[in-house]
Amino acid sequence: MSAVSRISVQKCLQNALAPNSALKTLLCGSSTNGCEGQKRWASAATATSKVKMYPKARYGGRSTVTLLPGGGIGPELAGYVKEIFNYAGVPVLFEEVKIDQESDSNEDLDNAIISVRRNGVALKGNIETRSSAPGVVSRNVALRNELDLFVNVVHCYSFPGVPARHKDVDIFIIRQNTEGEYSMQEHESVPGVVESLKVITRPHVERLARYAFEFALKNGRKKVTVVHKANIMKAADGLFLNVSKEVAKQYPDIKVNDMIIDNCCMQLVSNPHQFDVMLMPNLYGTIVSNVVCGLIGGAGLLAGANYGDHYAVFEPGTRNSGTMLAGKNLANPISMINASADMLEHLKLNHHAILLRDAIRKTICEDRIHTPDLGGNATSTQVVENVLQHLAKNVRVCGP
């Protein structure tokens, strides 16, 4: 069964068991409170998220990684990463899979998912879905759902030397990745009336919240802020908030508070230093990560990581395709290079990751080789060349 077919089956199941559906009434009765059918459906939803584990591809001591360049500036940034890895002798082989953003077919998406399952790890640019055909789903969302990449982590931190509204920002955003507003369940009830479902389930929230508190504990973080809109979406965000608080009780050494999303954005702009780890549903993560990236210098600096039980996909933090900058040699390559450094750490190639991060830091913070988005006039290739120069001081290059 193809990726799209499996997603369609999940949609049909969830729509059939939506409020007021005939099937749900048959299974659960008219009452929606304490419904055993709902509990069984939640368990079924959890079961459908399980993915098959494949042996990871590794040849001659090298890790094979799926490379999904995406659209816009993605192919350029992917090319820079390959150039850097080749120069530094990083033991990684890339299996490149291109996805046609204009196509009505999902064959490329299926090939990408098979590749990631084979390799276990991917580096990607943003993949646009330009087709408006009903059967063509968002490639980015489908990839995360099919691989059960249930959490997105973005480390938002300041770069000394980069003009920014605030200094010394250091926040981890932990975002729901496979539920919430991006469930891709929309339908037109009658002409001109569209319903879009926001799906929140207890098992998925519990897994996400546990990840956040375990992350805080392992990384020496002191506080987790749960971001929500439970004052309006009392059922959906109320469940997210309540389950997160239940999980928090198991971590007495970690402080926990909650904040409504609109107030959260205002607080981020006025005083971002009050935040440590932030836990939130899908859409709010998109908003908050872009707000924080704007505070520390822009979309071209930070990386994001998507994790599941078996697979990991690394990408620029704000998931912007940068189409207007494509081919102009002006895009900031640092976000993709940072994503590749995160990937190296995930692959336990810590030596190479440390060298690369050091080269990035010196390029941005000491040499101040900045592209126009950071107020400079350097080109993309000049940034990459400067990174290579710093790597040259620490990397032994083999030659004649």
In CATH terms, the fold of domain 51-148+303-400 is: Isopropylmalate Dehydrogenase (3.40.718)
Contact 264, 227 (CB under 8 A): yes
Whether the pLDDT of residue 189 is over 80: the answer is: yes
Output the CA–CA distances (angstroms, integers) from residue 353 to 20, 56, 89, 166, in the order listed. Answer: 52, 21, 12, 27
Q: What pLDDT does 394 receive?
A: 80
- Per-residue pLDDT band for 6 (boundaries 50, 70, 90) equals low
How far is it, in rounded angstroms, from Cα 360 to Cα 391?
9
What's the rounded Cα separation, in Å, for the pair 250 and 277?
Answer: 17
Distance CA 197, CA 186 (A): 6
pLDDT given for residue 106 in this prediction = 79
Q: For 290-315, what is the mean pLDDT?
A: 92
pLDDT exceeding 70 applies to what percent of the chain?
A: 81
pLDDT tens digits for 210-252? 999 999 999 999 999 999 999 999 999 999 999 999 999 999 9
Would you say residue 266 has pLDDT above 80?
Answer: yes
Average pLDDT of the segment spanning 330-334: 92
State the pTM of this model.
0.82
Give residue 389's pLDDT band: very low, low, confident or very high (50, 70, 90): very high
User: Between β-strands 277-280 and 255-260, what pairing exists: parallel, antiparallel or unpaired?
Assistant: unpaired
334-349 pLDDT, tens digit each: 999 999 999 999 999 9
**Is the separation of the CB atoms in 32 and 26 below 8 Å?**
no
Alpha-carbon distance 177 to 144, whole Å? 7
- Of residues 42 and 301, which shows the higher confidence score? 301
Q: Give the helix ranges, DSSP H, for the chain.
A: 3-16, 22-28, 36-48, 74-88, 107-119, 139-146, 202-218, 236-248, 261-270, 282-296, 334-346, 350-361, 380-392
Closest CA to 353 of 61, 80, 361, 397: 361
Burial class (CB in 10 A: 0-12, 13-18, 19+), 103: middle
**Residue 327 confidence (pLDDT):** 80
pLDDT of residue 56: 63
For 256-307, the DSSP string reads: EEEEEHHHHHHHHHH-GGG-SEEEE-HHHHHHHHHHHHHHHT-TTS-EEEEE
Rounded CA-CA distance 300/294 in Å is 10
Q: For the residues 142-154, what does the mean pLDDT come to?
A: 94
The superfamily CATH assigns to domain 165-296 is Isopropylmalate Dehydrogenase (3.40.718.10)
Residue ranges of the chain assigned to CATH 3.40.718.10:
51-148+303-400, 165-296
Task: pLDDT band for 268, please (50, 70, 90 cuts).
Answer: very high
Q: How far is CA 388 from CA 87, 300, 329, in A?
A: 8, 18, 17
Q: Look at residue 318 and tell me whether its pLDDT is greater than 60.
A: yes
CA-wise closest residue to 179 among 149, 200, 162: 200
Nearest CA among 248, 299, 298, 318 for reference residue 277:
248
Mean pLDDT confidence for 89-94: 94
**Residue 126 confidence (pLDDT):** 84
The residue that leads in pLDDT, 84 or 326, is 84
The SS3 call for residue 226 is strand
Nearest to 343 by CA among 161, 53, 90, 115: 90
**For position 135, what pLDDT does the model report?**
66
CA 238/CA 221 separation, integer angstroms = 25
Report the SS3 class of residue 211: helix
Q: What confidence tens digit (pLDDT) does each residue in 14-68 have? A: 454 444 444 444 334 444 443 333 333 333 334 344 555 555 656 667 899 999 9
What rounded mean pLDDT belongs to the chain? 84
User: 80: burial class by Cβ within 10 Å (0-12, 13-18, 19+)?
Assistant: buried
**Residue 361, SS3 per DSSP:** helix
d(CA 173, CA 306): 12
Q: Residue 80: name the closest of 372, 373, 375, 359 by CA.
A: 359
Whole-angstrom Cα distance, residue 361 to residue 368? Answer: 9
In this structure, what DSSP letter does residue 127 have? -
What was the pLDDT predicted at 399? 45
pLDDT tens for each residue of 150-180: 999 999 999 998 988 899 999 999 999 999 9
